[in-house]
Amino acid sequence: MVSLTARVDCEQILPAPSLASPAADQLHAVELEQLVAKREGECVEAKAELLRLRDELAMEALVQLQAETGGAPRDAPQDASVAEEGELERLMILKRELEKKLQSSESASVAEAITRSGTCSVAGTSECSSACASPRDVSPAASSSKGTGKGKLGKGKALSGKSAVPPAPAPKMPPPRRAAAVKRSNLTNLHWRVINEKPEESTGGPGGDLLLKQVRDLANDFALGEKGANVGTVGVDDFDFLSLQNSGTVFSACESEEEEKALTVPTSILEAYFTKRSTTVVIGEGRERSQQPQGEPLIDCKRLQMLGILLQRHLMANRSEADAQAIISLKRAVLRCDEKVVPQEGLSVLRTVLRQHASDGDKITAYVKEKGEAALQSLPHPYHHKLIHELLKIPQIEERMECMLFKTVFEESLVECQEGMAVVRQALDLLWQKRELLSKFFVTAHRLGSALNRDSRAPQAPRGFQLASLEKMAQTKCSANTKCTIMHFVLALLSPQDVEELFTSKDVVLLARARTVKSHFVYRECMDLIQSFQGTQKIVETGHYTSRATGEQVQIQRRRKTMAPSSRQDEQVDDDDRFHDTMEDFVLKHSDEVDAVALGCFETFQIYKNLGIWFDDLGSVYPPPESEKIGKADLLAVMHNFAESVRSLGEEVARDGLRDMLEQDSSR
């Protein structure tokens, strides 16, 4: 109910009640109800704005508290606190204005409703009381109950009937700020690149004569004393079957490619050196803001990351060095062939970047020629560009990198060649020793096949059959007994002792290892090792080097010291340039080992070729193919499949008694 004071105010403000018709009274009541609903909506909007302002004030206070506890950023202005206080004061003034606006909106709603109704009596009914009261004073119970007075709105018709204003929706909370998001890792990402160069195919003429000719020529070049004279006496064009003595090579397990062991670094070290924050070791960290680089980099993003990793690792290992000193240290390490400072991985990165720089048109060289060396400082990642520029000052840098990389991988490549060649050689010696048993099997199989194909359209083989026919024999089944194949009958025609000695279980294992090594892979690795070493040896002897990547022959010069123009009459060789001395020591140390590899490679593949001639199917297996897609097969792979068939089918012949059945049938 409206208080007495409110009723007196109504008498003073409102005119005397008019004697309008009931329809007009009802129309005024509807207008009054719509006006109240409109004002309530404005109040709700004002409340939502007030809540938003409150949340904004709370968030600003939280940010200020975090700044006070965590410390201000390094580059924050000195008057940051003054600006924050001014912003808070502005928000407080805005809050007061919104509160006043809310109060005035509520008062104006009540006054306008009373003025426009014109039908409110002095005594005031329950309907008038509800309309004159502010929206805050209207309780849910009063708005939902039916009126009982006899005012002009009619009996039992309250303002909160079917057209009552629905409750205001709850204000939406502001979206969470980024400060509340989950913290992500700030460590620098390492992008590894897998190097997988396609092997070069060995070229050769008909019958693969060029293969042995190349190996023989290389062996003759490295021949020393009587050993070299013996190599020269071997005739490559001699296709007669020659018996080579077994050197009794010690059997070694097949060497598979080992994965590189990743260096495990503690988390504290990673956070200290590879985080993206200001505490990270950053190239060019000490520059002023006015000296920040401008323009586009001359190196692509991928190579920049590779160089960044290389520089980061060097700075981690040499904490006392500055950025400029690190560039000089890496350049000096390349000149001195220092594998401790620039290991194999670092050399590979530098060589890759230098090759890409050459293929892109020597952008850094042209940039320095046009604007000067000091202009590199204005580029993004200036020390990355300076490192490449300093390396380009070294004469024949790409050829030097190629020789240095070969030197770093020589020990591993030598062991791989020796072990792989030992496995292939032992498997070939095994086949050579079993020629008599193999001959029994092939003669028996040839007679059986000729008898089956006699007087038919099937191909006749008066001279013999190819090695690929061995697989066909194991697949062609007998019509009377589908469990038996032609190879079952061939093995049944041999004696049990011959079948047992033809291939033992150890022989199958040895052939399986030789098949895994692959004859072509062993040949290619040996040839790469010998030719690369021979190119390095020519540098020591003549100073010339033939690049395996481009095929060009270049003169590798010694680097001269950088001197003033007035003192360049007698230029001196740079003492840091120890490339020629390092290569000379390397050649003298490993010359005998490479000589042994060259001789062993020649002898191994001479036996391989002789076996192909003996099987009368040289064109199918020689030269050893890189893959079976070119219509040829590795001899060791063919014989491994054959050995497995002999072992498994021989046991079935003995178990099923096929040999006894044939003997009984032949005796009848």
pLDDT tens per residue, range 512-537:
999 999 999 999 999 999 999 999 99
Mean pLDDT, the chain, rounded, equals: 74
Report the chain's C-alpha Rg in angstroms: 48
* Between 5 and 65, the higher pLDDT residue: 65
Report residue 604 CA to chain centroid gap: 39
Spell out a b/e string for 301-331, using b for 16 or more CB atoms within 10 Å of the CB, else e. eebbbbbbbbbbebbeeeeeeebeebbebbb
Report which secondary-structure segment, H or E, holds 324.
Answer: helix 323-336
Structure tokens at 202: 């060995």
Q: What is the DSSP string of 122-179?
A: SS--HHHHHHHS-GGG--HHHHHSPP-S-STT-TT--TTSTTPPPPPPPPPPPPPPGG
Token pair recorded at residue 46: 């004002």
> Looking at per-residue confidence, does 252 or 609 come out higher?
609
Instruction: Kindly indicate the confidence band of residue 509, based on its pLDDT and cuts at 50, 70 and 90.
Output: very high
Percent of the chain beyond pLDDT 70?
A: 64
Q: Which range among 190-204, 206-220, 603-617 shows the weakest confidence by mean pLDDT?
A: 190-204
On the question of pLDDT at 541 being above 70, the answer is yes
Q: Is it the case that residue 564 has pLDDT exceeding 50?
A: no
What pLDDT does residue 236 have? 39
pLDDT tier at 172 (50, 70, 90 boundaries)?
Answer: low
pLDDT of residue 350: 94
Which of 207-211, 311-315, 549-553 shows the lowest mean pLDDT across its residues?
207-211
Report the C-alpha gap between 119 and 17 in whole angstroms.
5
Whose structure tokens read 């060095």? 321
3-state secondary structure (DSSP) of residue 20: coil
pLDDT beyond 60 at 115: no
Is the pLDDT higher at 88 or at 591? 591
More confident residue, 80 or 95: 95
Rounded Cα distance between 514 and 425, Å, is 9
Checking if the pLDDT of 615 tops 90, the result is yes
DSSP 200: P
State mean pLDDT over 101-109.
Answer: 68
Tell the burial category of 599 from Cβ atoms under 10 Å away from its Cβ (0-12, 13-18, 19+): buried
pLDDT in tens, 250-297: 223 334 444 433 334 456 555 555 565 444 444 554 444 444 446 789
Confidence label for 88 from pLDDT (cuts 50, 70 and 90) = confident
Confidence (pLDDT) at 5: 40
Least confident of 124-138, 190-204, 331-345: 124-138
Residue position matching structure tokens 């020269």 = 232
Q: Which of 276, 394, 273 is nearest to 335 (CA)?
A: 394
Cα separation of 385 and 311, whole Å? 12
**pLDDT tens-digit map of 27-74:** 767 777 777 777 777 777 777 787 788 777 777 777 777 666 554 444
Token pair of 302, please? 């991928």
Distance CA 467, CA 21 (A): 120
Instruction: Report, as an integer, the average pLDDT of 351-357.
Output: 93
Q: What is the pLDDT of residue 4?
A: 37
Mean pLDDT check: name the lowest of 106-120, 247-261, 301-315.
Answer: 247-261
Mean pLDDT of 297-322: 92
pLDDT at 302: 93
- Say what the pLDDT of residue 80 is: 52
Check residue 11 and give its pLDDT.
Answer: 42
Residue the block writes with tokens 């050196």: 273
CA distance 451 to 512: 33
Long-range contacts for 342-346 (Cβ within 8 Å, ≥24 apart)?
Answer: 343/408, 344/405, 344/408, 344/409, 346/310, 346/313
Give CA 244 to chain center in angstroms: 49
Residues 6+ apart with CB under 8 A from 667: none
How would DSSP label each residue in 501-559? Answer: HHS-HHHHHHHHHHHHH-HHHHHHHHHHHHHHHHHHHHHHHHSEEE-TTT--EEE-PPP
pLDDT tens digits for range 631-653: 899 999 999 999 999 999 999 99
Question: Residue 187, SS3?
Answer: strand
Residue 201 token pair? 């195919």
Please report, rounded to a whole number, the percentage of residues in the chain having pLDDT higher than 90.
42
pLDDT attached to residue 275: 62
CB 304 within 8 A of CB 379: no
Residue 24 exposed, middle or buried by CB count within 10 Å (0-12, 13-18, 19+): middle
- Which is it for the CA torsion 76, 82, 84, 87, positive or negative? negative
pLDDT over threshold 90, residue 597: yes
In this predicted structure, the answer to whether residue 607 has a pLDDT above a threshold of 90 is yes
pTM: predicted TM-score of the whole model, two decimal places: 0.56
Name the residue among 362, 186, 385 with its Cα closest to residue 295: 385
- If one compares 622 and 18, the residue with the highest pLDDT of the two is 622
pLDDT surpassing 90 at residue 426: yes
Q: What does the pLDDT read at residue 43?
A: 76
SS (H, E, C) 439-491: HHHHHHHHHHHHHHHCCCCCCCCCCCCCCCHHHHHHHCECCCCCCCEHHHHHH
- The per-residue pLDDT for 234 is 43
Residue 156 near residue 146 (C-beta atoms within 8 A):
yes
pLDDT at 232: 44
State which of 201-205, 578-582, 639-643 shows the largest mean pLDDT: 639-643
Whole-angstrom Cα distance, residue 664 to residue 348? Answer: 72
Task: Calculate the alpha carbon distances from 314 to 40, 283, 323, 346, 482 in Å.
Answer: 71, 12, 10, 10, 71
